Amino acid sequence: MNDVTPHTGQTAPRRTPEAAAGGLLTVDLGAIADNWRLLNGRMGKGRSSAAVVKADAYGLGADRVAPVLAKAGAPCFFVALPDEGVRLRAVLPKHPIYVLSGPLPGTEPMFYANALRPVLNSPEQVAIWLAQWPGVPYALQVDTGMNRLGLTMTEFEALADRLDPKIVLSHLACADEPDHPLNARQRVAFQSVRDRLPKAKASLANSSGHFLGADYLFDLGRPGVALYGGNPAPGKPNPMHPVVRLDLRILQVRQIDSAGSVGYGATHSISEGRRVATVAAGYADGLLRSMGNAGSGHLGDIRVPMVGRVSMDLITFDVTDVAAAKAGDMISVLDHRHTIDDMATEAGTIPYEILTSLGQRYARRHVGGAA
């Protein structure tokens, strides 16, 4: 029913019916809008926060997320690649959409046809854009210390007089470590960039940058992960509202009738009388294998530990403490009690990777906002 997008004829990802899914992913669009308002409120008068919706809004569905953020007041949007911009344009007819990776050679017409604005990252991109599309809006990225994307400070100095970007941006390498000395070095370098281009909106702060102090805010914030509930100030209480909930279906509950082990590699020893619930999701659904024997969830109000390795399609939990546990029940692995940051810690990664790994086999429910 939802398989074909009528206006293009392209096949859209098939929607999994809830009854047939191994997991239910619930995305709270209202919480995303609240998170944007919280960040935007930190910017102060005359300034605002944009919204970074690259990688399908960090895996949560850009087509659902972006219109809600536009309605909340986000003035413009950032994606990574032109194709993401084309798909976003279908749901955001009017807002400026910036493409962080810039125009790959030959994709300039794609930008023009969809009114996408490139972030120009090299002198070559600047030369091509100014020659081929004079007067067509663009942003400019200057590298102030990350050594990743953008014009070097020297390249910028040489070109600055010819440039008239809508936005001039740079990206912080260590914004989630407030005491890192690179933050101040990047801020000072970026201040000199913004002074050369006073007409452009200056943008430095990602999510964490919104919490580094007033002199990091400039004109426009570029939050991503905090919109989706990730903690922008690791080590401190998370000011953001949780956005995702993930419930996994129990397929079977095993009463252990003699001591043994659980799962591949027999990595978890288990004694007689304990009970193991096997749920219908695994690393193929983005539940990283590294959280085997380390992750956890909740069955009702009771915390249940993951035991054994994470398999491709299955994960095992010790549910001995929940006498009533039975096939068909759901174990929640992401919610307000166990957040994407908690899961990231258990898996030895960051919440960005947890979100962008969330699999395509879950049934997805978008609630709140304008859903």
State the minimum distance, in angstroms, from the CB of residue 271 to ligand PLP.
44
**Burial label, 200 (beta-carbon count in 10 A; 0-12, 13-18, 19+):** buried
Chain mean position to CA 304: 27
Asked whether position 25 contacts ligand PLP by CB under 6 A, the answer is no
Q: Which is nearer to ligand PLP, 65 or 226 (CB)?
A: 226
d(CA 96, CA 280): 41
d(CA 63, CA 366): 11
Binding residue (CB under 6 A) for ligand PLP from 223, 263, 282, 297: 223
Binding residue (CB under 6 A) for ligand PLP from 206, 278, 311, 339: 206
Q: Which is nearer to ligand PLP, 36 or 283 (CB)?
A: 36
Binding residue (CB under 6 A) for ligand PLP from 64, 87, 117, 171: 171
Compute φ and ψ for 245, nearest 5 degrees.
Answer: -130, 135
Q: Which is nearer to ligand PLP, 206 or 311 (CB)?
A: 206
User: Cβ atoms within 10 A of the Cβ of 256, count?
Assistant: 17
The SS3 of residue 2 is coil
User: Cβ atoms within 10 A of the Cβ of 9, count?
Assistant: 7
DSSP-assigned letter for residue 210 = G
Compute φ and ψ for 191, nearest 5 degrees.
Answer: -60, -40
Binding residue (CB under 6 A) for ligand PLP from 102, 165, 224, 282: 224
Q: Which is nearer to ligand PLP, 87 or 298 (CB)?
A: 87
Please give the size of the binding site for ligand PLP, defined by CB under 6 A: 11
Assigned token pair, 334: 């992401």
Residues 312-341, mask of contacts with ligand PLP (x by CB under 6 A): ------------------------------
Binding residue (CB under 6 A) for ligand PLP from 100, 197, 279, 304: 100
Residues 40-59, mask of contacts with ligand PLP (x by CB under 6 A): ------------x-x-----
**Burial label, 97 (beta-carbon count in 10 A; 0-12, 13-18, 19+):** buried
Compute φ and ψ for 5, nearest 5 degrees.
Answer: -85, 115
Please state at what angle helix 29-43 crosses helix 62-72, rounded to 10 degrees. 40
What amino acid occupies position 78? Answer: F
Cβ contact 343:297 at 8 Å: no
State the minimum distance, in angstroms, from the CB of residue 53 to ligand PLP.
10
Nearest residue to ligand PLP, using CB? 224
Q: Which is nearer to ligand PLP, 21 or 226 (CB)?
A: 226
Positive or negative, the Cα torsion across 225, 81, 109, 153? positive
Asked whether position 231 contacts ligand PLP by CB under 6 A, the answer is no
Q: Which is nearer to ligand PLP, 186 or 278 (CB)?
A: 186
C-alpha distances (whole Å) from 204 to each of 108, 129, 262 are 25, 23, 48
Among 116, 123, 79, residue whose Cα is nearest residue 101: 79
User: Cβ atoms within 10 A of the Cβ of 11, count?
Assistant: 9
Q: Which is nearer to ligand PLP, 107 or 203 (CB)?
A: 203
Assigned token pair, 369: 């906002």
> Of 158-166, 223-231, 245-253, 316-324, which segment contacts ligand PLP by CB under 6 A?
223-231
DSSP-assigned letter for residue 8 = T
Binding residue (CB under 6 A) for ligand PLP from 222, 268, 309, 338: 222
Q: Which is nearer to ligand PLP, 220 or 334 (CB)?
A: 220
Catalytic residue numbers? Answer: 54, 264
Asked whether position 207 contacts ligand PLP by CB under 6 A, the answer is yes
> Of 19-27, 108-116, 218-226, 265-273, which segment contacts ligand PLP by CB under 6 A?
218-226
Which residues contact ligand PLP (rule: CB under 6 A)?
Answer: 52, 54, 100, 171, 206-207, 222-226
